[in-house]
Amino acid sequence: MNAPVIPILPVGKARAPRSSGPRPVPAQALADVREALGPDADLGRRDLLIEHLHAINDRHRQLRSDHLAALAELMRLSVTEVHEVASFYHHFEVVRPGADGHYPVAAALTVRVCDGLACEMAGAQELLARLPEILGREVRVIAAPCIGRCEQAPAVAVHQHPIAKATVESVQAAVQAGATTHEPAPYQDLAAYRAAGGYTLLAECLTGVRDVESVLQTLEHSGLRGLGGAGFPAGRKWRIVRGAPGPRLMAVNIDEGEPGTFKDRTYLEQHPHLFLEGLLIAAWAVGIEACYIYLRDEYHGCRALLERELAALKAAPPLPEGHALPAIELRRGAGAYICGEESAMIESIEGKRGMPRLRPPYVAQVGLFGRPTLEHNFETLYWVPTLLQRGAAWFAGQGRHGRKGLRSFSVSGRVAKPGVHLAPAGITLQELVDEYCGGMLPGHTLYAYLPGGASGGILPASMADIPLDFDTLQPHGCFIGSAAVMVLSDQDRVTDAARNLMAFFEHESCGQCTPCRAGTAKVRELIAQPVWDRELIADLSQVMRDASICGLGQAAPNPVDCVIKYFPQELSA
């Protein structure tokens, strides 16, 4: 989407033309790239590099090296700068010419079969084994890490078209029908949201009916914490960033890549304006000048939905006279789980490889484009209008077993009713399965569960009475994270689950730090053996926790450590 250039951001500085060197860019490559980008492409903004790469990749189904050189020429960047970004992200297919000077022909279609834990349990490996032969060489079938549809396992994406509970027959039918795009299902659009009273709270904030202090106190008294995994108190975060010198920016994380997590997608597909009103209230309260929404590339329908509703919002702003919307830009991820980490996401928004930053300084002090940045998960902002309308006491009054608030649990695995279940914070796994998920699947008995997605650890059925909330699972070597609950039965093996998860972490490590890059690979090798070297695994686990730069490497050992601790009977020695 074409958003205005924000003068305060150091991203529009023109560079002096550079020499192409001894290998001038072919005229046809330049023409191809210009055609893919379109006449309105802003080539002076370094932070739009990934958006431009998407445009070329969408048009040609791959990124040829001559096209990368052409883009570098047009953006006044070095080829190295462009290539290192293009080669970092999984959804970009970078290719070079063969010995004959010709580029390989791009596959007519790519079919991604999710091999995340929930989809593997539901038969993804059979799909991967059978689809290539059935679909033929014109179609490229690849295994893909979690695509955020765990409740629909096994999930497959035919280009941009998701298939729930996929079978060989349903995928084949989609390919033959040319079903490659994804239109969002019916949702509450701007007109419907306003008719139901939407944006009234924002108007009250802008006109002084509500002041900033009262809004901050509501957040603080409600106990609302960040719902992307870290759990930092939302009201405190707003105060910290509000107190930093301006200009201040906002980065919204919808790069929902944790295996087992799909709550943000579910809510966004239904009520996008609850989130957008929360975003605008936060922007007003903190004094934000520009907002950047980072959406994972797998959520094509959500992107179409957001583009449509943001355009409607800008065309008819639901604001009192004399007020204007902050600049809002929608940015497209490119298939990198690491970009769910806040500083890696910020690097990606700036058009770079998504590598986490060393801290301090923290994002709230030096974040996006070097400015103080309010970073939030989608669901945290989604709750803001409801909290302001119903009050802090209402939210804090929810909960069980001494906990406060509500949690959106993404539940997948061996339950009768997988999906997003809004339940009291502190509910136990057994209560969640019995009361909200319709019990276990017929013929299955609860054996184990992951309380917080891939990185949150694994617990046995005998510990299904622990309250699920922030701070309740750490004593057991686990955490709730984004509340992605994956349920295993007596027909599963936790050792297989740990192998699946460690392969995911190895695949998704950005490679920046040795403890994570080498540690995930080594642990995967060790647990692939019939007998686990527990002493060596323990040493590697401790090094990864102590020395990894970000949470990926620090939390990657959790499922393996839990298997060793709680399921010794599954280990040969």
Domains of the chain: 27-95 (1.10.10.1590), 109-177 (3.40.30.10), 190-390 (3.40.50.11540), 406-570 (3.10.20.600)
Task: Say whether 429 sits in a helix, a strand or coil.
Answer: helix
Q: Dump pLDDT digits (tens) for 254-296.
A: 999 999 999 999 999 999 999 999 999 999 999 999 999 999 9
Long-range contacts from 174-181, C-beta under 8 angstroms, 24+ separation: 175/109, 175/111, 175/135, 175/139, 180/109, 181/300
Residue 13 has pLDDT above 90, yes or no: no
Residue 7 has pLDDT above 80, yes or no: no
Amino acid at position 429, single letter: L
SS3 content of the chain, % helix, strand, coil (to 5): 45, 15, 40
Alpha carbons 447 and 403: distance in angstroms, whole number: 25
Q: Dump pLDDT digits (tens) for 390-404.
A: 999 999 999 999 999
- What is the CA angle 453-457-461, rounded to 5? 100
- What is the CA angle 511-516-522, rounded to 5? 105
Encoded tokens for 172? 């084949």
Terminal CA-CA length for the chain: 57
Task: Say whether 481 sits in a helix, a strand or coil.
Answer: coil
Residue 235 has pLDDT above 70, yes or no: yes
Residue 166 has pLDDT above 60, yes or no: yes
Which pLDDT does position 439 carry in this prediction?
98
Alpha carbons 121 and 491: distance in angstroms, whole number: 10
Q: Dump pLDDT digits (tens) for 343-367.
A: 999 999 999 999 999 999 999 999 9
Q: In which band, very low, low, confident or very high, does the pLDDT at 407 lie, cut at 50, 70 and 90?
A: very high
Alpha carbons 164 and 152: distance in angstroms, whole number: 5
Mean pLDDT of 407-427: 98
CA distances from 101 to 60, 69, 104, 489 (A): 18, 16, 10, 54
* Percent over 70 (pLDDT), the chain: 96
Alpha carbons 366 and 347: distance in angstroms, whole number: 12
Q: Dump pLDDT digits (tens) for 168-190.
A: 999 999 999 999 999 888 999 99
Closest Cα partner for 375 from 240, 252, 246, 248?
A: 252
Q: In which band, very low, low, confident or very high, does the pLDDT at 23 lie, cut at 50, 70 and 90?
A: confident
Mean pLDDT of 28-36: 98
Q: Dump pLDDT digits (tens) for 507-549.
A: 999 999 999 999 999 999 999 999 999 999 999 999 999 999 9
Name the least confident of 2-11, 29-38, 101-110.
2-11
Q: In which band, very low, low, confident or very high, does the pLDDT at 229 lie, cut at 50, 70 and 90?
A: confident
Q: In which band, very low, low, confident or very high, does the pLDDT at 16 lie, cut at 50, 70 and 90?
A: very low
3-state secondary structure 163-226: ECCCCHHHHHHHHHHCCCCCCCCCCCCHHHHHHCCCCHHHHHHHHCCCCHHHHHHHHHHHCCEC
Alpha carbons 76 and 20: distance in angstroms, whole number: 10
Alpha carbons 418 and 410: distance in angstroms, whole number: 8
Alpha carbons 382 and 519: distance in angstroms, whole number: 37
Alpha carbons 230 and 529: distance in angstroms, whole number: 33
Q: What is the mean pLDDT of the chain?
A: 94
Which pLDDT does position 572 carry in this prediction?
63
Helix (H) or strand (E) holding 138: none
Which pLDDT does position 9 carry in this prediction?
46
Alpha carbons 250 and 327: distance in angstroms, whole number: 10
Mean pLDDT of 90-119: 96
* Percent over 90 (pLDDT), the chain: 93
- Are 221 and 306 spatial neighbours (Cβ–Cβ below 8 Å)? no
Encoded tokens for 11? 């991203």
Closest Cα partner for 264 from 232, 234, 305, 223?
A: 305
Which pLDDT does position 491 carry in this prediction?
97
Which pLDDT does position 480 carry in this prediction?
96
Which pLDDT does position 375 carry in this prediction?
97
The beta strand positions in 370-483, using DSSP E, are: 373-377, 406-413, 419-424, 446-450, 459-460
- Are 571 and 532 spatial neighbours (Cβ–Cβ below 8 Å)? yes
Please report where in the chains the tokens 């309740």 appear, as a residue. Answer: 472
Q: Dump pLDDT digits (tens) for 488-508.
A: 999 999 999 999 999 999 999
Amino acid at position 544, single letter: M
CB atoms within 10 A of CB 208: 8
Look up the pTM and report it.
0.95
Alpha carbons 562 and 498: distance in angstroms, whole number: 9
Residue 334 has pLDDT above 80, yes or no: yes
Which pLDDT does position 573 carry in this prediction?
47
Q: Dump pLDDT digits (tens) for 310-323.
A: 999 999 999 999 99
Which pLDDT does position 5 carry in this prediction?
42
Mean pLDDT of 441-448: 98
Question: Bridge partners of 284?
Answer: none
Task: Say whether 507 sits in a helix, a strand or coil.
Answer: helix
Please report where in the chains the tokens 């943000």 appear, as a residue. Answer: 264
- What is the CA angle 149-93-102, rounded to 5? 150
Give the strand pairing for 419-424 and 288-295: unpaired
Q: In which band, very low, low, confident or very high, does the pLDDT at 149 lie, cut at 50, 70 and 90?
A: very high
Q: In which band, very low, low, confident or very high, does the pLDDT at 39 lie, cut at 50, 70 and 90?
A: very high
